[in-house]
Amino acid sequence: MVATRKFGMKAAVAGLAAMLIGTTGALAGVSTTAVFEPLNDQFSVRWDMEGGGLRRRIVESPTAPGGAALEVSMRRRIDEVWRSRVTVPLVNDIHAGDTVELRVWIRAESPINGLETGNIDLQIVRTSEPYDNIFSENIRPTEEGRYYSVRGVAQADFDADDVVFGANMGYGRQTIQFGSIFINRVESAD
């Protein structure tokens, strides 16, 4: 189990450095001719929680970019898995036809019993009617943390104040660590 402590200045500086490097480096599997426009605040990420059964804390995580992660524990399984989730707000609007890419570091500190993995949905979703999304991808993170990347094309306009990144966690009792997150509009440089 990873040792825990308060998120200190050293970890904050290391995290900022990791985010800066992550925004300028090429993404594995993505054409280097792509142009990325940030849709979330990548320098001051605000992680929120919605629903019950969740606890969160900042922990030291030697494998996470910057050496620290947001650790979120789901206490029990719920029928409507989307009712308990972690979210990150967006700061720029998304327009119909935009290609949106999510890249987020995730690790299962305590997988779901019997699965040996975590179980979460990654979404860019509208927070009001009709609750449509740009993408929704189910992932099974392991105890080996890594970046997960998901892309989708917006079928409608999404105002920044009405859309979030959401990680639905209600599939069962599990503890998930979240690290650096990058949500970008992707355009071809050609």
Structure confidence at residue 33 (pLDDT): 56
Structure confidence at residue 188 (pLDDT): 67
Amino acid at 174: Q
User: What residue ranges of the chain have pLDDT lower than 50?
Assistant: 1-31
Structure confidence at residue 12 (pLDDT): 40
Does a structural domain hold residue 4?
no
The whole domain housing 148 covers 9-188
How far apart, in Å, are the Cα atoms of 29 and each of 10, 97, 181? Answer: 31, 21, 17
How far apart, in Å, are the Cα atoms of 119 and each of 75, 97, 137? Answer: 13, 29, 11
Does a structural domain hold residue 2?
no
pLDDT digits (tens, 9 = 90+) for 109-126: 999 988 999 999 999 999
Structure confidence at residue 32 (pLDDT): 53
Structure confidence at residue 35 (pLDDT): 85
What CATH number should be reported for the domain holding residue 49? 2.60.120.260
Work out how many domains the chain is built from and give that number. Answer: 1
Does a structural domain hold residue 3?
no
Does a structural domain hold residue 85?
yes
The answer for residues whose C-beta is within 8 angstroms of residue 48's C-beta and 6 or more apart is: 86, 87, 88, 89, 164
Neighbours of 69 (CB within 10 A): 29
Does a structural domain hold residue 99?
yes
Structure confidence at residue 189 (pLDDT): 60
CA atoms of 43 and 182, how far apart (whole Å):
10
Structure confidence at residue 43 (pLDDT): 86
Does a structural domain hold residue 1?
no
Structure confidence at residue 15 (pLDDT): 43
